[in-house]
């Protein structure tokens, strides 16, 4: 299923998302030190690193849930640091957090409606149809509350809600966490399909090897600092990266 | 200096000598002797220089401030040390007041019994009354704690408001218990006999000459001495207890309940203990209040006076800090008393706005203290004297040395 | 891995392999058991009433009046439960908002042209207009308090306790304003106006005003249903109550949602206060008296659940009135309190609350 029919990738040279010299943290505790990262239109960028490296913190900072102490974050050359999440969503960037990423007391359909909260009311059913076409399972269970659904199904609801706004960039925080191997493959398949439709994806993954295999580029983060950058293949081939971060 | 002024000054000085050492910064060697000397000197000085009308106002002020300070200490044990959100201070305050009253008054007989009904009147000494107040208030707290303390913080707050309200309703409705909606009068005052008849059973007559020149009106200074002594005693006991392993356990239960449980602490029991200890202290404060005002009724234990003010005191002073609790009590009581003057001063202005307003000036005090609490919550949630994270007096404090 | 599935039931052993204590606890925690206990308490109250010599007819009349009182409590507690659900703190100033509503209407009525009395009700159109005007006024006051006080606390990520404390401060603030503006005396909307009782079947006598109160409560709850289930703002409110962070991520301006929640909650509180004033009289402490029953209804119904609050409020109203057949009427708040504590001990998430959390 093709999510969008035609989206020119003419601005390929201009990065969609660009973070430079970002330092951020909680309270007095600084977790990210001078981190840089960029995502260009249409690519999959994978962010890997050990636990506590600051991957999720970087995602939250990009999305305005945390405000950087220094550094700049731009989306389509517009500065977005210091802006609120609900403003950033409107620019065409959507985020799927790792945990608590669905409204458990709402039904699947209501969850999707909330994903399209910024849309014109008449537009919502059309977008919903497209998400159902991408995830037919959700259509069958559209009247069910997501609190009663399995982890894999919730992940679909979460991604589906993020796609409602038809964003250019999707931020995924550990989409495969806690899922069975079969479901992990399904999720990665979905990410590939979404990307094939023209969306850029920035994802944090524990499943580093698998995510680098499909990523155009990757960043390795450790102790809140950039360690290695490169294309997915380069990082996979790098013996240090393999030894330290890919489990040998 | 006349003998009357000297004696009054001495009594006031003793009271201040109890309070001032607490207020001085801790950890200094001169704190206790310095405080005592300063208190005595201040007492004598005030008595000598201040006109007697203002002096008795000051004594009344300090008495109420000290009673509130004890309440604030009780709340600090519950909230500051253990994290119980008790919005029902008034309930335990009332239980203490009525218990002590019933233990010490004489049950009316004959015609008077028709006007004043009590469950019992034991005519016991003041000390027994205070102790009974502590025990009964603690027992009520225990009964409340067992079902309620397991609840979430916010539910506990709602439930304790309910408990206080129900206690108030009981004292309002049940005539047989403590004279129902009518005030319970004639609560005896300890040592008042000395001032009235120059004779008390427990004082040898050979000593009675000391207070010979004083009149009945000067009794308040004597009572202030007792209240201040109680405050100092409660403070010392609590300070000891909270610096002991028990106090550390309470803080551990408050901050890291799971780790405390994993360290083998009986968490539910510790929480109940702290709640009961706090209520015992509130009960003592209630008893001191009853013997101060002589007549009490249910309306004295309104949520505003007996719960809300205490919370402002503790929040302003600093929860988790006993000194802060006392400083807060004195400051807020000062604001409360001061706003009465302010309301009086504003009267012409209020009259200019609307003819009915001067009669309602007292509510300006409510307005000001509620704004004070809001301001504390918004701008200084840790209070003036924040909690000192000191493990034990045997462990040197890195900041001080 | 963090537990990201708090709402899925734990893997449980087959029932017979669990210890007896666990099985008993499992039964006790169910919705059915709570319902049965509450109904048993109600039945016990009826029996106590009969035992102390109240006639069946009187108990029936008390039940009818209890429903009306329940309507008043419901109006207050629906707003309370919404605010509790979205903001996650108990709003102790809700009672003061109830009182404020009653007094605002009291001020508005003489300003409006007096209409003909709508027999058999005791009031004219001007009362209805005052009701409709006072609701947004109190709603805006509630929102303004949120802007000045609670929003600052939200921005600093303050603990629930500070919110509760601030709401206590605001309770006394609003109450002191009421004392200053309207004084401590009792007031009536229509002093001395007769409102004879209607005779209903089974010998029940109720005033038309009381029926109006119940009807208004039901209509407002129905409107709440439409709002929450069908409108965008309603769904956004539910989403914000469910997960405020995710709501922001999905593009919901949670500050706007919170503002509307206050307007709604304040408005409903005002309606409750006006109805309470109509059924008895206006006193500056009237809202404080309702605070305990309102919280009881909120907790019994399940926090954040308006339909739960309605049913619990009706139950509390009935229990309150029936208890007067054998207990001093001033103990009303105590009756609500007992029902609340029973709920908290058996099933803290209430009658209609979510099962897991």
| Longest CA pairwise span in chain B (Å) | 69
Q: Quick one: B209 exposed, middle or buried, by C-beta within 10 A (0-12, 13-18, 19+)?
A: exposed
Chain C residues 244-303 with CB within 8 Å of chain A: 245-254
For residues B45 and B82, state if they share a domain.
Answer: no
pLDDT at C9: 44
Other beta carbons within 10 Å of C16: 6
- What DSSP letter does each residue of C34-63 carry, written as one string? HHHHHHHHHHHHHHHHHHTT--HHHHHHHH
CA nearest neighbour of B317 among B373, B381, B384: B384
State how far the Cα of B35 lies from the Cα of B296, in Å rounded to an integer: 34
CA nearest neighbour of C250 among A59, A125, A98, A114: A114
Question: Using a CB-CB distance cutoff of 8 angstroms, which residues of chain C are in contact with residue A110?
Answer: 235, 238-239
Q: Say yes or no to pLDDT of B5 above 80.
A: yes
Report which secondary-structure segment, H or E, holds C205: strand C205-207
Tens digits of residue pLDDT in A148-204:
888 888 999 999 999 999 899 999 998 888 888 888 888 898 899 889 988 999 999
CA nearest neighbour of B72 among B247, B266, B328, B296: B328
Tens digits of residue pLDDT in A61-84:
999 888 899 999 999 888 998 888
**C131 vs chain A: nearest CA distance in angstroms?**
32
Q: Quick one: B245 exposed, middle or buried, by C-beta within 10 A (0-12, 13-18, 19+)?
A: exposed
Determine the length of chain C. Answer: 357
The CATH number that applies at residue B148 is 1.10.3470
B363 lies in some domain: yes
What is the pLDDT of chain B when averaged over all its residues?
A: 87
Q: Quick one: B149 exposed, middle or buried, by C-beta within 10 A (0-12, 13-18, 19+)?
A: middle
For residues B3 and B14, state if they share a domain.
Answer: yes
Spell out the residues 6+ positions from residue A1 whose beta carbon is closer than 8 angstroms to its own.
Answer: A130, A133, A134, A193
For residues B120 and B39, state if they share a domain.
Answer: no
For residues B37 and B68, state if they share a domain.
Answer: no
The predicted model scores a pTM of: 0.88
Chain C residues 100-119 with CB within 8 Å of chain A: none
Q: How many domains does chain B have?
A: 2
pLDDT at C3: 38
Using omega within 30 degrees of 0 as the cis cutoff, is the peptide bond preceding C120 cis?
yes
Q: Does A113 touch chain C (CB under 8 A)?
A: yes
For residues B36 and B55, state if they share a domain.
Answer: no
> How far, rounded to the nearest angstrom, does the alpha carbon of residue B251 sit from its chain's CA centroid?
23
B73 lies in some domain: yes
Which one of C165, C289, C333 would you mutate to disrupt binding with B, by most B Cβ within 10 Å of its Cβ? C165
Q: Say yes or no to pLDDT of C138 above 90.
A: yes
For residues B100 and B181, state if they share a domain.
Answer: yes
Rounded to two decimals, the ipTM of the complex is 0.87
Contact B335, B136 (CB under 8 A): no
For B83-128, list the strands marked E by DSSP.
Answer: none
Contact C250, A113 (CB under 8 A): no
B66 lies in some domain: yes
- What DSSP letter does each residue of C141-180 carry, written as one string? HHHHHIIIIIHHHHHTT--HHHHHHHHHHHHHHHHHHHHH
Range C122-136 average pLDDT:
93
Other beta carbons within 10 Å of B196: 13
For residues B174 and B231, state if they share a domain.
Answer: yes
B393 lies in some domain: no
B296 lies in some domain: yes
B242 lies in some domain: yes
Q: Between these two residues, B354 and A192, which has the higher pLDDT value?
A: A192
Range C82-103 average pLDDT:
95
DSSP state of B300: G
Domains and CATH numbers, chain C: 59-188+213-346 (1.10.3470)
Contact C87, C262 (CB under 8 A): no
For residues B202 and B268, state if they share a domain.
Answer: yes
Range of lowest pLDDT (B1-10, B315-324, C101-110, C151-160): B1-10
Q: Does A95 touch chain C (CB under 8 A)?
A: yes
- What DSSP letter does each residue of B44-90 carry, written as one string? HHHHHHS-HHHHHHHHHHHHHHHHHHHHHHHHIIIIITT------HH
Q: Say yes or no to pLDDT of C19 above 90.
A: no
For residues B45 and B116, state if they share a domain.
Answer: no
Q: Say yes or no to pLDDT of C101 above 90.
A: yes
pLDDT at C4: 41
For residues B57 and B38, state if they share a domain.
Answer: no
pLDDT at C169: 94
B395 lies in some domain: no
- Residue C77, SS3? helix
Structure-block tokens of residue B356: 């009915």
Give chains near C: 3+ CB pairs under 8 A: A, B
Other beta carbons within 10 Å of A168: 22
CA nearest neighbour of B366 among C94, C174, C93: C174
Which one of A26, A56, A63, A85 would you mutate to disrupt binding with C, by most C Cβ within 10 Å of its Cβ? A85
- What DSSP letter does each residue of A43-112 carry, written as one string? -EEEEE-STTSSHHHHHHHHTTSS--SEEEEEETTEE-TT--HHHHHTTTEEEE-SSS-S-TTSBHHHHH
What is the pLDDT of chain A when averaged over all its residues?
A: 87
- Domain boundaries, position B66: 51-379
pLDDT category of residue B249 using cuts at 50, 70 and 90: confident
pLDDT category of residue B302 using cuts at 50, 70 and 90: confident
For residues B69 and B43, state if they share a domain.
Answer: no
pLDDT at B393: 54
Q: Between these two residues, C271 and B386, which has the higher pLDDT value?
A: C271
Q: Do B378 and C152 touch (CB under 8 A)?
A: yes
Question: Using a CB-CB distance cutoff of 8 angstroms, which residues of chain C are in contact with residue B381?
Answer: 158, 162
For residues B161 and B39, state if they share a domain.
Answer: no
Q: Say yes or no to pLDDT of C201 above 90.
A: no
Q: Does C249 touch chain B (CB under 8 A)?
A: no
**C253 vs chain A: nearest CA distance in angstroms?**
6
CA nearest neighbour of B94 among B117, B113, B71, B75: B71
Which one of B84, B377, B379 would you mutate to disrupt binding with C, by most C Cβ within 10 Å of its Cβ? B377
B399 lies in some domain: no
Q: What value, to the nearest 5°, has the Cα angle with vertex C326 and ends B87 and C272?
A: 50
Give chains near B: 3+ CB pairs under 8 A: C
Spell out the residues 6+ positions from residue C121 whose beta carbon is closer than 8 angstroms to its own.
Answer: C195, C208, C209, C212
């Amino acid at each position: 299923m093709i999510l969008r029919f035609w989206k020119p990738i003419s601005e390929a040279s201009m990065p969609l998302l660009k973070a430079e010299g970002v330092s951020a943290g909680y309270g007095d505790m600084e977790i990210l030190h001078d981190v840089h990262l960029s995502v260009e239109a249409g690519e999959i960028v994978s962010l890997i690193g050990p636990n506590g490296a600051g991957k999720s913190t970087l995602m939250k900072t990009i999305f305005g849930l945390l405000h950087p102490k220094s550094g700049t974050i731009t989306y389509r050359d517009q500065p977005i640091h210091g802006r609120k999440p609900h403003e950033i969503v409107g620019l065409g960037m959507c985020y799927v957090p790792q945990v608590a990423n669905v409204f458990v007391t709402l039904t699947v359909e209501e969850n999707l409606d909330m994903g399209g909260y910024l849309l014109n009311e008449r537009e919502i059913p059309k977008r919903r149809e497209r998400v159902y076409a991408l995830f037919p399972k959700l259509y069958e269970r559209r009247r069910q509350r997501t609190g009663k659904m399995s982890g894999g199904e919730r992940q679909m609801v979460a991604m589906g809600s993020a796609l409602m706004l038809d964003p250019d960039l999707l931020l995924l925080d550990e989409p495969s966490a806690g899922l069975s191997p079969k479901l992990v493959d399904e999720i990665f398949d979905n990410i590939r399909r979404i990307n094939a439709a023209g969306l850029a994806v920035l994802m944090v993954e524990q499943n580093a090897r698998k995510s680098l295999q499909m990523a155009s580029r990757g960043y390795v983060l450790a102790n809140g600092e950039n360690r290695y950058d490169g294309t997915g293949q380069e990082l996979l081939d790098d013996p240090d990266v393999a030894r330290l971060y890919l489990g040998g | 200096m006349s003998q009357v002024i000297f004696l009054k000054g001495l009594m006031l000085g003793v009271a201040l000598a109890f309070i001032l050492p607490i207020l001085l910064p801790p950890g200094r060697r001169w704190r206790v002797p310095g405080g005592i000397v300063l208190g005595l000197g201040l007492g004598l000085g005030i008595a000598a220089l201040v006109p007697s009308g203002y002096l008795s106002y000051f004594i009344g002020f300090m008495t109420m401030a000290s009673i509130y300070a004890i309440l604030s200490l009780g709340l600090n044990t519950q909230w500051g040390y253990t994290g119980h959100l008790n919005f029902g201070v008034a309930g335990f305050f009332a239980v203490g007041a009525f218990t002590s009253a019933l233990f010490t008054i004489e049950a009316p007989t004959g015609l008077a019994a028709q006007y004043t009904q009590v469950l019992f009147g034991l005519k016991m000494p003041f000390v027994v009354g205070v102790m009974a107040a502590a025990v009964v208030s603690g027992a009520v707290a225990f009964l409340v704690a067992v079902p309620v303390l397991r609840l979430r913080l916010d539910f506990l707050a709602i439930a304790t408001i309910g408990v206080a309200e129900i206690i108030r309703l009981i004292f309002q409705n049940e005539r047989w218990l403590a004279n129902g909606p009518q005030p319970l009068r004639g609560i005896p005052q300890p040592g008042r006999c000395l001032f009235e008849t120059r004779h008390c059973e427990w004082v040898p007559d050979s000593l009675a000459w000391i207070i010979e020149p004083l009149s009945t009106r000067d009794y308040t200074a004597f009572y202030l001495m007792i209240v201040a002594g109680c405050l100092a005693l409660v403070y010392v006991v609590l300070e000891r207890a909270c610096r002991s392993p028990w106090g550390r356990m309470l803080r551990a239960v408050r901050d890291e309940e799971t780790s405390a449980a994993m360290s083998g602490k009986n968490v539910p029991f510790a929480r109940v203990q702290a709640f009961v200890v706090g209520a015992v202290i509130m009960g003592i404060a209630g008893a001191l209040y009853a013997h101060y005002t002589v007549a009490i009724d249910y309306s004295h234990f309104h949520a505003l006076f007996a719960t809300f003010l205490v919370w402002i005191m503790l929040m302003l002073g600093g929860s988790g800090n006993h000194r802060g609790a006392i400083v807060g009590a004195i400051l807020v009581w000062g604001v409360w008393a001061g706003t009465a003057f302010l309301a009086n001063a504003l009267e012409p202005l209020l009259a200019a706005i609307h003819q009915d307003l001067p009669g309602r000036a007292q509510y300006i005090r409510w307005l000001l203290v509620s704004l004070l609490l809001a301001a504390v919550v918004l701008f200084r949630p840790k209070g003036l004297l924040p909690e000192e994270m000191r493990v034990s007096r045997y462990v040197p404090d890195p900041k001080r040395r | 891995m963090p537990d990201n599935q708090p709402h899925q039931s734990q893997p449980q052993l087959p029932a017979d392999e669990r210890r007896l204590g666990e099985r008993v606890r499992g039964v006790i925690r169910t919705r059915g058991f709570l319902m049965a206990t509450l109904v048993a308490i109600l039945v016990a109250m009826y029996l106590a009433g009969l035992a102390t010599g109240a006639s069946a007819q009187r108990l029936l009349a008390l039940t009818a009046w209890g429903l009306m009182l329940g309507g008043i409590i419901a109006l207050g507690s629906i707003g309370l439960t919404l605010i509790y659900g979205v903001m996650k703190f108990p709003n102790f100033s809700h009672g003061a908002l109830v009182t404020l509503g009653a007094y605002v209407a009291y001020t508005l009525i003489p300003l409006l042209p007096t209409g003909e009395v709508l027999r058999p009700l005791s009031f004219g159109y001007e009362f209805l207009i005052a009701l409709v005007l006072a609701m947004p006024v109190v709603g805006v006051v509630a929102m303004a308090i949120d802007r000045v006080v609670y929003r600052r606390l939200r921005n600093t990520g303050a603990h629930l306790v500070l919110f509760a404390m601030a709401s206590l401060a605001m309770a006394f603030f609003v109450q002191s304003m009421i004392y200053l503006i309207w004084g401590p005396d009792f007031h009536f909307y229509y002093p001395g106006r007769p409102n004879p009782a209607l005779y209903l079947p089974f010998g029940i006598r109720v005033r038309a005003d009381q029926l109006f109160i119940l009807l208004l409560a039901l209509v407002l709850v129905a409107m709440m249903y439409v709002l929450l289930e069908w409108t965008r703002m309603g769904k956004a409110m539910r989403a914000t109550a469910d997960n405020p962070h995710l709501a922001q991520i999905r593009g919901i301006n949670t500050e706007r949602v919170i503002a509307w929640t206050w307007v709604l909650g304040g408005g409903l509180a005002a309606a409750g206060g006006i109805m309470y004033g109509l059924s008895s009289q206006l006193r500056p402490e009237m809202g404080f008296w309702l605070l305990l029953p309102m919280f009881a209804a909120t907790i019994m119904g399940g926090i954040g659940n308006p339909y739960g609050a309605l049913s619990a409020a009706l139950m509390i109203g009935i229990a309150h009135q029936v208890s007067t057949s054998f207990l001093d009427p001033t103990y009303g708040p105590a009756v609500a309190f007992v029902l609340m504590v029973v709920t908290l001990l058996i099933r803290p998430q209430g009658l209609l609350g979510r099962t897991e959390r």
